[in-house]
Structure 1
């Protein structure tokens, strides 16, 4: 085999190895994004978004998150927020809709205490997705119920479900793990809930 032929073969092999390495690198980045963002990654793909665009968006979220000053709670702040949450849960018995609004406000204030920007809901969701992608659907579901409640379109059961969802994201932000499921029923009233209708909300 001539020297030129050998060089050509070597170049083909090198190019092939570079191509394989590039594919493996892309696959590794995808796996890491899927592991970090969990359901949020799948939700965006399931919504019909292009995979490359999704991964570019998620990498942008990671870059923004690195510029934030997210911090754990001080012990006294942890205790204060835990006490406030207990008060909100107790208030649900007599004022479900007000308690849900208070729960939303408490989660936003907790985010602020942790160092997250809180001025815009959509941006809050994006920022939370980086470290809390596996619990983010709880926040979305709770916020959706709150929006419907403000339009007087949420039932008492909807409000109870929202409290469960808020508790899941609240406890994760607070620093406690939560195994809450959407049908968890820790938040309950000591008296029968009134028949929900548009006038009650």
Structure 2
């Protein structure tokens, strides 16, 4: 082989290797975007670089794999659905207290499913692997809950918090907890369905 052929061969091998690395990176990025949805973009905006964000999301997947996530029994599912319905009914008379109860109920459900319930940021990180599409709701509900504890939330804010908690609650439960029709619409005739008003 001539020196020119060797140089051309080395260049071809390098180009093939570069294309393979780029394709692998693209495939991994696409898989992370698909799995984490809006949480992917949030992580990218919070980190110094896309690479750092993707490393963080892969670390979340690794930590999540160490958890023992358990499905709810039909009895537990029915118990939680009934508890959620009670929360919604009590909202009319005491919205401020009910938001705290909703937060506690969601936390109990998170724990029963097998997720850690320590720091809120850790909860979000663990939940993001399987429930990324409803984490925006959970963040919004938690923020309103904190404002409520400082006496800074209006009744409309509290109603919105309950709507947000319900989104994560339904995702964790695997079904709408109460009053939803097959079309996914809330029952607007039910006076206790505060989320439909």
Task: Please report the TM-score for the alignment, with normalisation by the length of structure 1.
Answer: 0.87
Instruction: Provide the alpha-carbon RMSD of the alignment.
Output: 2.2
Unpaired runs of 5+ residues, structure 1, are: 191-201
Q: Quick check: 2:99–2:161 contact (8 Å CA) kept in 1? A: yes
Residues of 2 paired with 1:139 and 1:52: CA distance?
A: 26
Q: Could you tell me which residue of structure 1 aligns to residue 194 of structure 2?
A: 187
Give the equivalent residue in structure 1 for 2:31: 32
Once residues 14 and 103 of structure 1 are traced to their aligned partners in structure 2, the CA distance between those partners, rounded to angstroms, is: 59
Mapping 1:16-165, distance limit 5 Å: 16-47=15-46, 49-165=48-164
What is the SS of the residue equivalent to 2:133?
Answer: coil
5+ residue gaps, structure 2, are 187-191
Q: Please state how far the C-alpha of 1:47 moved relative to its aligned partner.
A: 4.0
SS at match of 1:107: helix
C-alpha displacement of 1:152: 0.3
Match of 1:10 in 2: 9
TM-score normalised over the length of structure 2 = 0.88
8 A Cα contact 1:92 1:99, kept in partner: yes
Offset from partner CA, 1:79-134 (integer Å, 9 cap, x none): 11111000011010101011100000000100111011112211001001111111
1:15-70 Cα offsets, whole Å, 9 max, x none, are: 11000110111111111111111111112223464111100000000000000001
- 1:142-183 C-alpha deviation (Å, 9 max, x unpaired): 0000000000000000000000000000000001169689xx
* Runs of 4+ residues deviating >3 angstroms: 46-49, 177-181
Q: Is the 8 A contact 2:103 2:142 kept in 1?
A: yes
Query: Equivalent residue of 2:151, what SS?
Result: coil
Q: Give the whole-Å Cα distance in 2 for the aligned partners of 1:151 and 1:90.
A: 24
The answer to which structure has the higher helix fraction is 2
Inter-partner Cα distance in structure 1 for 2:185 and 2:64? 26
For 1:30 and 1:92, locate their aligned partners in 2 and report how far apart those are by CA, in whole Å.
42
Name the CA distance, whole Å, in 2 between partners of 1:109 and 1:188: 21
**Shift in alpha-carbon separation, 1:104–1:180, aligned structure 2, 3 A:** farther
**May I ask how many residue pairs the two structures share in their alignment?**
186
